[in-house]
Amino acid sequence: MATVAGSTSNRPRMDYFYDAQIGNFHFGEGHPMRPHRVRLTHHLIVNYGLYKHMNVFRPKPATQKDLTAFHSDDFIRFLQEITPDNAQDYIAQLERANIGADCPIFDGLYEYVQTYTGGSIGGAARINQGCSDIVLNWSGGMHHAKKAEASGFCYVNDIVLAILELLKVHARVLYIDIDIHHGDGVEEAFYLTNRVLTLSFHQSGAAFFPGTGHINDLGGRSGKNYSLNFPLLAGMEDASYESIFNPIVNKVMQHFQPSVVVLCCGADSLSGDRVGCWNLSIRGHAACLEHVKSFGVPMLVLGGGGYTVRNVSRCWAYESARLLNQPVPDSVPWHEYMDYYAPEYKLHIPVSNMQNENSPEMLEKTRNKLFEILSQLEHAPSVQMETGNPGTRRTPDTHNIDDSEDDDENCWEADVRPHRMKRVHLAEFFDKDDRLEDLLDTDQVGVQDFEEPPSDDDEL
């Protein structure tokens, strides 16, 4: 592995996956999901000089074989074939795949999922190879996608695929989700295994998408008590969040003893998000990553939600700096996207004065409930892997069960996107030891590769 410039004993070996094309994909006029936010994040990382302290990679696109390690063959074939021009020929498949307003068909859809998923699988492979302590892929974190359907702006679940890659080498993987929405797709995929512990902190309520993640959803069979959920109310702020996040993560690390952690760092939990209803600051959000980092376990850090794009880029760039132990000034360095950060041109933004509906008593009650569940865990479970076939990642068959003007408006309406009836967990993944050296090669790139093609998104 190339030596990181200026590396020191307290600076982790960090890899960063970025593809310049990611910002060119567009979900459609008025859609809150804008991949352009990843481009904005990248330009802050470059202009703050953070890239000098990381190994920078352009991810190889995920192949059909990579994607069908979790997703069904028919679903991936459908994503390959569907376009805005031929959508009328796939009416039945559109309904079956949950394609619609939330998850529209747009030009380059399959290339988009290949790009963000390639970064997550490639990052997992780097960790498996022992080449990196921390890997960043801010374009990833699509935690709602299911085995055979899209959901919540997510088409392919790169998180599940990355965890499957990690399980080839690591006995236990911890997944932590600080997106404001419940990580339902990841929880469902690993609901029956004790090799993956999923921990999600999210907005509660049946009216808030996806309407899942109750504290009593604990997992099943050998995965009983390995799915942990902390549902929260509106207005969650830094001090309250720290009071639950740190002790619960401490307890999970003590009992589960993972050898790698995967984080979904959705920035829709920030104050002022167009879709979210919490009140976290950028520093408070980053403090979660710093706490996990303090355990010295390899980390795969992924993006997720976040819909006020200028704040998403602020947050992820700052978190990149904190994970590097690299201080950055609050003044945004001059670059071509400066106007996004007007009029203050600052990295950090003030939180609002919204009321925190989470009382200390409620938080303590839920925290104690999770402590009780964790006390029932087998310490550092030693299990075997059971996949569909020995030596493969195939999952067994299961039962069939623009930054717009709106950014400046009051943002506290609940996310009431339509969601399907809560389903029985498919839990497509079981356990058995699988040590194949199926490591994804990546192309390392330099700063000269950061130049990007013209894009319609470049104009505010």
Contact 185, 157 (CB under 8 A): yes
Tell me which DSSP letter residue 54 carries.
S
DSSP 3-state helix, strand, coil percentages of the chain (rounded to 5)? 35, 10, 55
Spatial separation of the C-alpha atoms in residues 319 and 286, rounded to whole Å:
5
Active site residues: 144
| φ and ψ of 199, to 5 deg | -130, 115
Bridge-based pairing of strands 14-17 and 299-302 is: unpaired
Tell me which DSSP letter residue 341 carries.
G
Spatial separation of the C-alpha atoms in residues 374 and 251, rounded to whole Å:
7
Spatial separation of the C-alpha atoms in residues 40 and 309, rounded to whole Å:
8
Place of tokens 């993640």: 213
Helical residues (DSSP H) of 88-136, grouped into ranges: 91-96, 109-128
Spatial separation of the C-alpha atoms in residues 67 and 31, rounded to whole Å:
25
**What residues contact residue 366 under an 8 Å CB cut-off, 6+ apart?**
215, 230, 231, 244
